[in-house]
Amino acid sequence: MVLKTGDILSIDIGMERQGCYTDTAITVPIGKIPAKTRQLLNVTQESLEVAIKEVKAGISVATIGRAIEKYVKSQGNYGIVRDLVGHGVGHAVHEEPRIPNYYDPQLEKFILKPGMVLAIEPMISLGDCRIKVGDDNWTIEMADCSLCAHFEHTVVVTEKGCSVVTRRPKEL
């Protein structure tokens, strides 16, 4: 695939240092992008911030997905990727619990505790929610070939909120 002006590129990075893992992602524009694509980036990034504001000890994992879904739906007709979700992180890149970007009532039972480390990662598209995986078993695209944005941060749950450990300098 060759990138061209108007495309967007999502970069997802899992990092390990001294046996501890974090996970972060950002979507960047390639050259000048249309207004609807810029809005997709804004909605996706803001849905991550909305979710982060919900995180604190005592809430359910379902609360995070509900917050993302409610915000995204309030912004227009976007696809919320369901086959890829956020997750626990810390001792490995992917741990329990799974953290969907939509409300899952089964996750009302999973309550956050101080010290838990989570990767929250909304993936929102301009089209359908379905994905396809490339022949390399790594590259992911939308099944309908629509554009999709992805933003992610690793957070540590505290009693009164959370600490975002993967903020980039521009986000501070």
In a domain, 151, yes or no: yes
Closest by CA position to 150, among listed 53, 84, 90: 84
Which secondary-structure segment (H or E) carries 66? helix 61-75
Closest by CA position to 111, among listed 44, 148, 62, 47: 62
In a domain, 111, yes or no: yes
In a domain, 1, yes or no: no
Residues of the domain holding 99 = 21-27+34-167
Which secondary-structure segment (H or E) carries 62? helix 61-75
pTM: 0.95
110 pLDDT band, cuts 50/70/90, is: very high
For residue 66, give the CATH number of its domain: 3.90.230.10
What is the rounded distance in angstroms from the CA atom of residue 35 to the CA atom of residue 16? Answer: 36
Write out the two tokens for 103. Answer: 């409300």
In a domain, 87, yes or no: yes
pLDDT digits (tens, 9 = 90+) for 136-156: 998 899 999 999 999 999 999
pLDDT digits (tens, 9 = 90+) for 72-94: 999 999 999 999 999 999 999 89
